Amino acid sequence: MRDIADLAGVSIATVSRVLNEPEKVRTETRLKVEKVMEQNNFVANAVARGLVLNSMQTIGVLTVDIRDDYFAEVIYTLERQFTDLGYNVLLSNTGGQLGEKKRYLRIMQEKQVDAFILVGSVFKEATGNQHILETSKAVPVVLINSYLEGENIYSVLCDDAYGVREAVNYLVKQGRRDIYYFTDTKSASGLAKLEGFVSGMSEHGLDPSNVIQIARGLEGGAEGVAQLLANKRPLSAVICGEDMTAVGAMKALTEFGCRIPNEVAVIGYNNSVLAQAVMPALTSIDSMPSSMARQAVDLLAELFQGKEVSKKIVLTPRLVRRESS
């Protein structure tokens, strides 16, 4: 910066203002300094600037697998929103291993990020969350679709139990009673969905134990249908914890000669692009991923401004009705 100041005939403070507060520099002076920077391929030292401003203008975002449509939509929205606010996003795919989650938290802390966003309920561990509690002592931590009590920890989540309960109510109003739920995860979100199914079935005097534990993905949905039909269980509807699972169930039902929705209705979860791509189009519960991402960004923006923010924001999902039900 000293060299740039000498070449442009200005003070170091002026160069600093051109970099950090260009609107406060006269246009003629700013253009002169920027021209010298360009001629000398000058790139500001982000670490040094961060130390001066006490902010790296960077948010650490952790997810388990960016290939998942749900996570991809959340992260895309986060990145666009933060870019509009002048922040950068550092993204890490941790996989499902606790050791990797801890490692990436540590790596990003070393890079002096201003806050963390943990995308997905899988970041809340059944075995303890001391690593998140320790991280929050240094910077704010926002959990998307999960809740953890702690100082400097904030949550934006979807009421997954409500979403599945509404799906049960909708099917019961159609006169369907032999309703099954396909579950493939014991994450916080997965357990909330299961609780919604159990409570919804119980409220209508139906069997809350109509739950099939399956593998994740297309194969899991097909596996659940095959199991029910092989055991000759009465079946009028299937609710799945993911759209991908529901597509697998629909494929298997068609192969077994079951008409959708005349004989068996199918409902998925997340309202992903898959729901509109299959035939018949899949009824699905919209878990509001983009809305949760925007809420998380707004929460952090207000927190950085010193405003009081809610520790927990809960969004209500909605049932999007299509041909499969």
Structure tokens at 177: 């009673």
- Residue 34, Cβ neighbours under 10 Å: how many? 17
How does pLDDT run across 191-247, given as a tens digit for each residue?
999 999 999 999 999 999 999 999 988 999 999 999 999 999 999 999 999 999 999
17: confidence class by pLDDT, cuts 50, 70, 90: confident
The confidence score (pLDDT) of residue 144 equals 96
**Burial of 211: CB neighbours in 10 Å, binned 0-12, 13-18, 19+:** middle
How does pLDDT run across 119-175, given as a tens digit for each residue?
988 898 888 899 999 999 999 999 999 999 999 999 999 999 999 999 999 999 999
List of domains in the chain: 2-44 (no CATH), 54-158+289-316 (3.40.50.2300), 160-286 (3.40.50.2300)
Rounded Cα gap, residues 62 and 71, in angstroms: 10
Rounded Cα gap, residues 101 and 127, in angstroms: 14
275: confidence class by pLDDT, cuts 50, 70, 90: very high
Instruction: Calculate the average pLDDT of the chain.
Output: 91
The confidence score (pLDDT) of residue 51 equals 45
Could you tell me the CA-to-CA distances from 275 to 168, 215, 278, 282, 283 in Å, in that order?
Answer: 18, 20, 6, 5, 7
Could you tell me the CA-to-CA distances from 131 to 65, 103, 122, 125, 138 in Å, in that order?
Answer: 20, 10, 14, 10, 12
How does pLDDT run across 104-114, given as a tens digit for each residue?
999 999 888 99
User: CA 11: distance to chain centroid?
Assistant: 46
> What mean pLDDT is predicted for residues 257-277?
96
**How far is it between the farthest Cα atoms of the chain?**
87
How does pLDDT run across 51-104, given as a tens digit for each residue?
444 556 899 999 999 888 899 999 999 999 999 998 999 999 998 889 999 999
**Burial of 9: CB neighbours in 10 Å, binned 0-12, 13-18, 19+:** exposed
Q: Is the C-alpha dihedral spanning 228, 230, 234, 235 positive or negative?
A: positive
The confidence score (pLDDT) of residue 55 equals 56
Rounded Cα gap, residues 239 and 227, in angstroms: 15
DSSP notation for 27-45: HHHHHHHHHHHHHTT----
> What mean pLDDT is predicted for residues 288-315?
95
- Residue 84, Cβ neighbours under 10 Å: how many? 9
**Model pTM score:** 0.80
Q: Rg of the chain over CA atoms, in angstroms?
A: 25
The confidence score (pLDDT) of residue 46 equals 52
